[in-house]
Amino acid sequence: TIMDQLFETKQVELQLAKYLGIEKCLIAKGDSSQQTKVVSSFGEMVNESLATRLPDGKNVIAVMGGTTMAAVAEEIGQLETEKRHNIFVPARGGIGETVSVQANSVSAVMAIRSQGEYRSLFVPEQLSSFAYETLLQEPSIKEVLTLINQANCVIHGIGRALHMAARRKMSESEILMLKQHNAVAESFGYFFNEKGEIIHKIPRIGLQLKDIQNIPYVFAIAGGKDKAKAIHAYMKNAPKQTWLITDEAAANEILKGV
Ligand code: F6P
């Protein structure tokens, strides 16, 4: 029956959260790498979680990019209330994605759909370190960076290391380095090995991984059987307060011990 199924899913969610050592897991039916409707379920789960968990007052929500995050944004609904105001910002600037799945775009879509506000962070991809330092002194950039540092909520994706390196058109020598260090996962512009150790970081402004440890509401959104290994690796050192929103395909694979 449906009740049995729901009960079973809840059991697996508890089991997975315990196995990964994080606060909570929510598992959607199916495999998100095969069925787009599963990614929409992630969006509904994120929306519901934000609606119930975000406190009253001002919330600063830092988001990452990627195709999962872009699809999740489309499911966000009204989150503003008389007492609650949300400002969406990109978590990090310019780590190499096409415009429609950039963190700036995800943050704008979420803000518009939830009736909140957003701020964009414009950092070109290819910059000399001199230009980069100069850019950081710009008042408009500084203002957004200050806001990003006040984030009390982060929503991010997780990807496979080499897949992300290729998507970002990283150089051959960088890809070789990632292979030599057995990179399996990527999140926030950081690459991780199977033990969840950082082996490479794209030097970009915005939230750094260590900052996320102190942020109360952290949501990681990733599913699909092919991402199981990446999710598992990333979670080894993920902040304990993380909520993972995933699907059955990834959950089953992780629990099998990939
Ligand atoms: O590039 C942004 C990002 O969030 C990465 O940190 C992550 O690995 C990737 O996108 C996930 O992308 P997708 O949801 O398309 O697999």
Query: Does the complex come out with an ipTM higher than 0.90?
Result: yes
Q: Please, where are the H alpha helices in 99-227?
A: 103-114, 129-136, 139-149, 161-167, 172-180, 209-212
Q: What are the E-state strand segments in the chain?
A: 24-28, 57-63, 84-90, 117-118, 153-157, 159-160, 183-187, 190-193, 198-201, 217-221, 242-247
| CB 73 near ligand 1, within 6 Å | no
Q: What are the E-state strand segments in 34-135?
A: 57-63, 84-90, 117-118
**Residue 56 neighbours by CB distance under 10 Å:** 10
Which atom of ligand 1 has the smallest separation from the CA of 164? Answer: 8
Dihedral class, residue 206 (left if φ above 0, else alpha if ψ from -120 to 50, else beta): left
Alpha carbon of 83 to ligand 1 centroid (Å): 32
* Ligand 1 mutation pick, 36, 67, 98, 105, max ligand atoms within 8 A of CB: 67
Q: Which residues contact 23 (CB under 8 A, 6 or more apart)?
A: 17, 240, 241, 242, 243
15-to-18, 35, 174, 252, 256 alpha-carbon distances in Å: 5, 24, 37, 11, 12
Closest to 247 in 3D by CA, of 230, 229, 218, 227: 227
Alpha carbon of 147 to ligand 1 centroid (Å): 22
Closest to 244 in 3D by CA, of 186, 148, 153, 157: 157
One digit per residue, the tens of pLDDT, for the chain of length 258 reads: 889 998 999 999 999 999 999 999 999 999 999 999 999 999 999 999 999 999 999 999 999 999 999 999 999 999 999 999 999 999 987 777 888 899 999 999 999 999 999 999 988 766 777 888 888 888 989 999 999 999 999 999 999 999 999 998 899 999 999 999 999 999 999 999 999 999 999 877 889 999 999 999 999 999 999 999 999 999 999 999 999 999 999 999 999 998
Distance CA 185, CA 100 (A): 22
- Closest residue by Cα to atom 16, ligand 1, is 159
Q: What pLDDT is recorded for position 126? A: 67
What pairs with residue 198 in β-bridges? 192
Q: What pLDDT is recorded for position 84? A: 98
- Closest residue by Cα to atom 10, ligand 1, is 66
What pairs with residue 153 in β-bridges? 61, 217
Q: What pLDDT is recorded for position 28? A: 97
232-to-96, 100, 137, 171, 208 alpha-carbon distances in Å: 24, 27, 38, 26, 20
How many residues are given for the chain? Answer: 258
Which atom of ligand 1 has the smallest separation from the CA of 230? Answer: 8
